[in-house]
Amino acid sequence: MVDAVVTWVDGSDPAHVAKRKYWLAQLQGSEAISRHGTLHTRWESSFELYYCIHLIRRNAPWIEKIYLVTDEQRPDWLTEEEARRLDVVLVDHKTIFAGFEGCLPTFNSDAIEAVLHRVPGLSDRYLYFNDDVFLLRPTPAKKYFHGERAYWRGRFEKRFTVKQLLKFGRWIAGARERDGFVGVRKERAVLELKRVFNNAHAPHPFFRDLTRDVIEESGWMEENMSQKFRKWESVSVPQLVSNAAILRGYATKGPSDWEYIHSEHSEEEVDRRLERCLKEKKIKSLCVQSLDMMSKQMQDKIERLLGQALQGI
């Protein structure tokens, strides 16, 4: 059994805008908030969620429930009847932050990702999607989970960044102190070699129990949750968990079957990548970041491709 978890907020909702402004004013000067952690594009939403969910249902029928994690919101198109048809369950931040309500409201995706494994009823295996990640073609479950192993999209890098070294070093140091931890020797070798797995912008395959072990016992869950906006100190939960899973023997590098588009790409580059998605059948997923910052022409091209994917490209 595999579920999907999708995170989404409507950043243009007046209530959400008011909350962000209030907390930014409250924290001004008291916290070293990353500039990127306050850009409006982080919460802007256009048509991404609609295609994200519908393409999961079209191209991954083996996924059972889709849990949509949000902040006291509901997309207009997702009526109760439509949610039943698509088997989508809305999960409010209050539910997954139970016992830590003082951390709410939060505008930090790292904080939210730190508690996704607390979604009630979530299967032990689940795929995590940002709302800007789309399954373009039919993809069997074995491309993400096979036996006791998960397949993460991304690549190995030979060097840690300073940020990664500090964070992974802290986690490994903590792991060494836990009795019965089997992966310490491998992790020490990886740390000394300065080799790390960097995740692609693609669906992420999680084991719930492993995630709980890594993120809760390391202390990163509470630390991430305490930060209302993204900061340098936040840890990337997918990166921490993917590396832990690989080092413990529960995961390996998956296929290079994904594509990525960002608003900073030139129009020619976006066209090239869209064409690749259209023509190369090996491309199973696409991530489009900061869609709201693209021209209307580029947005229309991307939506056209997603519409073709719903029809079967």
Return the pLDDT at 192: 46
Rounded CA-CA distance 244/117 in Å is 16
User: Which of 7-11, 32-36, 222-226 has the least mean pLDDT?
Assistant: 32-36
Rounded CA-CA distance 24/230 in Å is 12
Of the pLDDT bands very low, low, confident and very high (cuts 50, 70, 90), residue 184 is: very low
Assign 247 to helix, strand or coil. helix
pTM of the model: 0.89
Please report the domains of the chain, with CATH numbers, ordered by start residue: 2-311 (3.90.550)
CB distance 114 to 237 below 8 Å: yes
CB distance 288 to 147 below 8 Å: no
pLDDT, one tens digit per residue, over 54-75 is 999 999 999 999 999 999 999 9
Residue whose entry in the numeric block shows the structure tokens 């990353």: 34
Rounded CA-CA distance 112/236 in Å is 11
Of the pLDDT bands very low, low, confident and very high (cuts 50, 70, 90), residue 26 is: confident
Pairing relationship of beta strands 149-152 and 145-146 according to DSSP bridges: antiparallel
CA atoms within 13 A on the CB side of 44: 12
Q: Would you say the C-alpha torsion 164, 167, 171, 176 has a positive or negative sign?
A: positive
Residue environment code for 51-88, b if the CB has 16+ CB neighbours within 10 A, otherwise e: bbbbbbbbbbeebebbbbbbbebebeebeeeebeebeb
pLDDT, one tens digit per residue, over 188-230 is 444 444 568 889 999 999 999 999 988 887 777 888 898 898 8
Residue whose entry in the numeric block shows the structure tokens 């590098």: 253
pLDDT, one tens digit per residue, over 281-303 is 999 999 999 998 899 999 999 99
DSSP code, position 2: E
Return the pLDDT at 176: 44
